[in-house]
């Protein structure tokens, strides 16, 4: 049941046939874990908080640096040196006091991750390195928690959804079997801030759709966004029967 203040706050959602009061109640009950409070995590967290996702857990162990501000739009110049996760918690609570926001300020290893997944309906991977992506995929697969992966480099964005509740679904490791960081990354190749913002916003959009029960069109897909031409390419990610994570062992 939504309070009067929530009926006003979410009035533009309530007008949507596909969302309405029923969908808003689902958002209020939802528990989402967002890992990485950088360029993807900034818009993803802000949109999910604004949308009324009732329980957000945000995870990051970095402090804000000057070079982050070109794309990590949740933060301010006078906040450099502070822990991002603390800054983000304050920002989200100011944006929407109706929701709960919990912080994880350390780098999670597998045992802690497994415990956190018991409290999560959905995970957003907003990180920027391959070993962490592989760890997140593995624990989400083992815990049967759906995972939305976003990435961006230069003018290009990637978006995928892995439904770990579905035993026939592919996983991130089926698509990217290597745990080694690619030679190209944002630190040495650069990235346009607005492209990261697009991809983080789309992670939030897909999360909202999945929570309220609107079919995701990125399940088992790699969607590639070209920020120069605004064109999309879509590739199916097939389940690898020999995958070390989701294949038959």
Residues of the shown chain interacting with Zn ion in the complex, contacts defined by CB under 5 A: 171, 173-174, 243, 245-246
In this complex, which beta carbon is closest to Zn ion, that of residue 65 or of residue 166? 166
The alpha carbon torsion through 110, 111, 114, 115 (nearest 10 deg) reads -140
Residue nearer to Zn ion on the CB measure, 59 or 171 = 171
Q: Which is nearer to Zn ion, 108 or 171 (CB)?
A: 171
To Zn ion, the closest distance from the beta carbon of 244 in angstroms equals 8
* Active-site pick, 126, 186, 243, 246: 186
Neighbours of 26 (CB within 10 A): 18
Give me the least distance between CB of 206 and Zn ion, in Å please: 19
Catalytic residue status for 186: yes
Q: At what angle do helices 84-95 and 41-51 cross, to 10 degrees?
A: 30
DSSP, residue by residue, 103-153: EE-SPPPHHHHHHHHTT-SEEEE----HHHHHHHHHHHHHHT--EEEEEEE
Question: What end-to-end distance do the CA atoms of the chain give, in Å?
Answer: 45
Q: For residues 58 and 243, which CB has a smaller minimum distance to Zn ion in the complex?
A: 243
Cβ neighbours of residue 86 closer than 8 Å, sequence gap 6 or more: 103, 105
Q: Give least dist CB 170 to Zn ion, A.
A: 6
Vertex 91 angle, CA 44 and 15, to 5°? 55
Catalytic residue positions? 186
């Amino acid at each position: 049941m939504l309070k009067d203040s929530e009926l006003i706050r979410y009035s533009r959602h309530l007008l949507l046939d596909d969302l309405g009061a029923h969908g808003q109640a689902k958002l209020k009950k939802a528990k989402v874990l967002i890992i990485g409070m950088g360029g993807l995590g900034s818009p993803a967290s802000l949109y999910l908080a604004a949308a009324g996702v009732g329980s957000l857990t945000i995870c990051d162990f970095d402090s804000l640096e000057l070079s982050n501000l070109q794309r990590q739009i949740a933060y301010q110049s006078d906040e450099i040196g502070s822990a991002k996760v603390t800054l983000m918690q304050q920002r989200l609570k100011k944006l929407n006091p109706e929701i709960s926001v919990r912080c994880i300020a350390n780098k999670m290893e597998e045992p802690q991750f497994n415990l956190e997944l018991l409290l999560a309906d959905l995970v957003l991977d907003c990180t920027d390195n391959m070993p962490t992506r592989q760890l997140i995929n593995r624990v989400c697969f083992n815990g049967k928690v759906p995972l939305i992966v976003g990435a961006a480099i230069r003018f290009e964005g990637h978006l995928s959804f892995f439904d770990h509740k579905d035993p026939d679904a592919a996983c991130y490791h089926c698509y990217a079997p290597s745990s080694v960081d690619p030679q190209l990354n944002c630190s040495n190749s650069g990235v346009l801030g607005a492209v990261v913002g697009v991809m983080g916003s789309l992670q939030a959009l897909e999360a909202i759709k999945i929570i309220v029960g609107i079919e995701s069109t990125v399940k088992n897909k790699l969607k590639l966004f070209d920020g120069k031409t605004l064109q999309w390419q879509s590739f199916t990610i097939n389940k690898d029967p020999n995958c070390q994570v989701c294949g038959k062992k």
